[in-house]
Every structure is written in structure tokens, then in C-alpha cells.
Amino acid sequence: MEKIKWAVIGTGNIAHTFTDALAADPDAELWAVASRTKEKAEKFAEKYGFRQSYGSYRELAEQSGADVVYIATPMSSHYSDTLLCLKNGINVLCEKTVALNTREFEEMLACVKETGLFFMEAMWMKCRPTYLKAMEWIKQGRIGDVRYIKADFSNYIPFSPESRLFRNDCGGGALLDLGVYPVTLAHSVLGMPDELITEANMGCDGIDLSNHITMRYKDGVFATMDSGFELQLKNNAIISGTEGFITFGNWFHCTETTELYDRNAVLLETSHIPVEVNGYEYEIREVHRCLREELKESPLVTHSDTAEILGLMDKCRQQWGMTFSGRE
Ligand SMILES: NC(=O)c1ccc[n+]([C@@H]2O[C@H](COP(=O)([O-])OP(=O)(O)OC[C@H]3O[C@@H](n4cnc5c(N)ncnc54)[C@H](OP(=O)(O)O)[C@@H]3O)[C@@H](O)[C@H]2O)c1
């Protein structure tokens, strides 16, 4: 069987980490890379052994003949980069947060439908065995009915006006960069809330430096989450139900350990699943599986889940009056 020809667009931090995992996958062929400058693309290609390098994203989309592209650009570029690749016949794995707002994501999905290609948000957390183990425990009723979720993702990141994280025109802010993980965790377990109560500390470029979100559901069930750049938290999560609770290790979205407790806080089971490469191998394998089975979306990261989570984040931003450079 022929290997799957991968392209990478954008050669920043995560592109390196992801490509480390890609290079370790025997089913992946490092086919093409594009940067906004030819020099960066060549350097990246040389480091990993990509066959082709391009000094523009458009050239890669039009000329490379890749099967699938990993889009690793800032949030503000995901919309145009995705449309560019889909319209040139390339399947897409696009980094989180998938788009700036629901309207743009709907257009991306319309293009997915029109082209009949595969599209997935690179929500690697949902492909990781530890996360899947926790979901299995919940499904099996091991913690009874879920009543409460708490999840944090806040890293102390000194202000830098050049960083995409603090720039409105790049789709910056804590919610889209970090908050997407706690919101995704809560949404995975409890679905869409009845009420959203939020607050944010806004930075100078109209982006949130930190935020607190409570999602309320009927019968007093709720999920609460914090994300931000101003403080360091342990970044763990707990999912608690009528019969017990599940804890995640620090940096819950990529932890190797989850624990299952009964309702008296007695430890019942520990799941420890060390990563095989660096944790990104699972989403890569999921893309391969979907492409081989000719699926248009992954059952692990469905289009409708991605859309609902983005819709929740739109609502949070509306409450804070936060828009992205004329793009809602
Ligand atoms: N899954 C994860 O664990 C994870 C972790 C970190 C980040 N991410 C996501 O991955 C994406 C990229 O994050 P990153 O941390 O890798 O960012 P980064 O280091 O700033 O890299 C982003 C790259 O995008 C390209 N780019 C295109 N337009 C740009 C613009 N206007 N300003 C700056 N760069 C631009 C640049 O590559 P060229 O110069 O080569 O064109 C740049 O190196 C984001 O969506 C982020 O949320 C995911």
C-alpha cells in the first residue's frame, strides 16, 4: 500500500512537534512543506526530509500533489488556508481552534461537502488513549451520572506584542488558544449547556488574557473552567458523578494518567498509558484510518462537535464584546 503523502503549512512551534510524530509513522510520507518564506520552508524540509518545499501556501496547494495537509498557522489563517487546500483537492487536518467564528467554520464545512474531502480539527486530546479511557469509564457508568466538571488550562506567558497569542489580527487570546480544551472536555461529557456564565480580563489588543466560564445544565449540573496567560495553574481536570469521580494528571489534555475513584474517594483504578512518540501520533493514526476507510470525518472529532464548541466560544466572546479585526 502506498504511504500517505503529508504536507505541512506553517513552520512554527507546533509544526515541529507534529512533524516529529509524523516522521515516526511508517504510514506517512513527508511530502511537502510550505512557509511564507522559501528559506524557512527549505530549512524545515531539510531538517525532516520533506521532498518538496514551497515559499508560499498557494504554491504548495496548487502544485504539491499531497494527500493531506496539516495546517499549523494562527487561528486567523485557518479559514483561508483550509479553503485553499480543499479547493486544490487536499484533505485537511487543521489546528485548533478551527476558525475564528461559526460563520467561517460553516463556510469551511460547505467546502468540505462540495469537494467530498476529509476534514478534521487537530483536537489531539480526543484521540489520546488516556482521554478515551476516561470516556469509556463514564460510558460504563463507573462514576454514575456526571454532576460536575472542573478543568483549567492557564499558563504564565509574559506579554509580547509580536506573539500571535496577544494579537487580535492573529486570532489571539486565551479562550481560543487554551480555553478550547476545557470547553471541549465539558462538551464531550455534558453536551451543550442551558446557560453560559462567563467573565474575562481583556488585554490591550482586544483579546482575553484570562477567562472564567461556567456552563450550567438542568438539575444543577455544571462545568467550570479557567484559562489564561496571566497565571500558572496545574491544568488538571476532574469529572465527578453520583458514584465517583475521575481525575486527570496535570496538563489534563495531554496527560498519560487518569484515575478512577469511588464516591468515598477510594482509588479504584489507575490508567497509565505512556505516549509512544510525543502524543501527536494518535491523531495522525486517526487521520490515516479515516483516509484508508474513506471517511469524510472522524468519529472521534466530529464536525458537529467542533461546530458546537466553536458556537460556545462565539457566545463567550459576545459576552466580552471581543471581536477579531472586523471578522466577528
Ligand atoms: N495541538 C497542540 O498541542 C497545539 C500546540 C500549540 C499550538 N497549537 C495550534 O497551532 C497553531 C499554530 O501555533 P504555534 O504555536 O505553532 O504558532 P507559531 O509558533 O506562531 O507558528 C505559526 C506559524 O504560522 C505561520 N503564519 C502564517 N501567518 C502568520 C501570521 N500572520 N503571523 C504569524 N505566523 C503566521 C508562520 O509560519 P511560516 O512563517 O512558516 O509561514 C508561523 O511560524 C495555532 O492554531 C495553535 O492554536 C496547537
Q: What is the pLDDT of residues 67-125, one digit of tens each?
A: 999 999 999 999 999 999 999 999 999 999 999 999 999 999 999 999 999 999 999 99
Q: What is the DSSP letter of 66?
A: -
- Contacting residues for 72 by C-beta, under 8 A, at least 6 apart: 8, 9, 10, 11, 12, 14, 15, 18, 95
Gyration radius of the chain over CA positions: 20
Selected from 3.40.50.2000, 3.30.465.10, 3.30.360.10, 3.40.1260.10, the CATH number assigned to the domain covering 129-274+308-320 reads 3.30.360.10
Q: How far is residue 290 CA from its own chain's centroid?
A: 18
The residue whose CB lies within 8 Å of the most ligand 1 atoms, and thus the one to mutate among 9, 14, 255, is: 14
Instruction: Report the predicted TM-score, pTM, of the whole model to 2 decimal places.
Output: 0.98
Do 4-123 and 129-274+308-320 fold alike per CATH? no
- Would you list the domain boundaries of the chain? 4-123, 129-274+308-320
Residue of the CA atom closest to atom 26 of ligand 1 = 73
Cell of 247: 481525575
3-class SS at 135? helix
Query: Which of 8, 9, 13, when mutated, tests ligand 1's pocket best, judged by the most ligand atoms within 8 Å of its CB?
Result: 13
Q: Is the pLDDT of residue 265 over 90?
A: yes
Residue whose entry in the numeric block shows the C-alpha cell 498557494:
58
Task: Please give the number of the atom of ligand 1 that sits closest to the Cα of 78.
Answer: 45
pLDDT tens column, 28-75: 999 999 999 999 999 999 999 999 999 999 999 999 999 999 999 999
Q: How far apart are CA 302 and CA 291, in angstroms?
A: 15
Residue 11 Cα: closest atom of ligand 1: 40
DSSP state of 127: G
- Beta-carbon contacts of 308 under 8 Å, excluding residues fewer than 6 positions away, are 187, 191, 192
CA atoms of 319 and 126, how far apart (whole Å): 27
| Four-CA torsion 39, 69, 311, 283, nearest 10 degrees | -110
Is the CB of residue 57 less than 8 Å from the CB of residue 9? Answer: yes
Query: 15: CA distance to ligand 1 center in Å?
Result: 7
Q: Is the pLDDT of residue 270 over 90?
A: yes
Domain 4-123 top-level CATH class: alpha beta
User: Of ligand 1's atoms, which has the minimum distance to the CA of residue 15?
Assistant: 16
Ligand 1: residues with CB < 6 A are 10-15, 35-36, 40, 72-75, 77, 95-96, 122, 124, 164, 170, 177
Cα 176 → chain centroid: 9
Q: What percentage of the chain exceeds 90 in pLDDT?
A: 98
Tell me how far the alpha carbon of residue 140 lies from the centroid of ligand 1, in angstroms.
38
Coil/strand/helix, residue 69 = strand
Nearest alpha carbon, ligand 1 atom 42: 12
User: Is it the case that residue 146 has pLDDT exceeding 90?
Assistant: yes
Cα separation, 63 vs 232, in Å, equals 44
Among 35, 46, 57, 73, the mutation site with the greatest number of ligand 1 atoms within 8 A of its Cβ is 73
**Nearest CA owner, ligand 1 atom 2:** 14
For cell 461529557, name the residue: 189
Ligand 1, atom 4: closest residue by C-alpha:
14
Taking 90 as the threshold, does the pLDDT of residue 326 lie above it? Answer: no
- From the CA of 44, give the closest atom in ligand 1: 40
C-alpha cell at 218: 438542568
Residue 239 Cα, ligand 1 centroid: separation in angstroms? 31
Beta bridge partners of 154: 228
- The backbone region for 138, taken as left when phi is positive above 0, alpha when psi lies in -120 to 50, beta otherwise, is alpha
Distance 170 CA to ligand 1 centre (A): 9
Q: Are 80 and 107 in contact (CB under 8 A)?
A: no
Please tell me the predicted confidence (pLDDT) of residue 325.
84
Contact 299, 123 (CB under 8 A): no
> What does the pLDDT average to over 299-327?
96
Query: What is the dihedral sign for C-alpha 285, 53, 10, 302?
Result: negative
* Cα gap 276→326, rounded to integer Å: 43
pLDDT, tens digit, 9 for 90 and up, residues 204-256: 899 999 999 999 999 999 999 999 999 999 999 999 999 999 999 999 999 99
Predicted pLDDT of residue 67: 98
Contacts of residue 85, defined as CB under 8 A and 6 or more positions apart, other chains included, come to: 9, 61, 69, 71, 92
Q: Residue with the nearest Cα to atom 36 of ligand 1?
A: 10
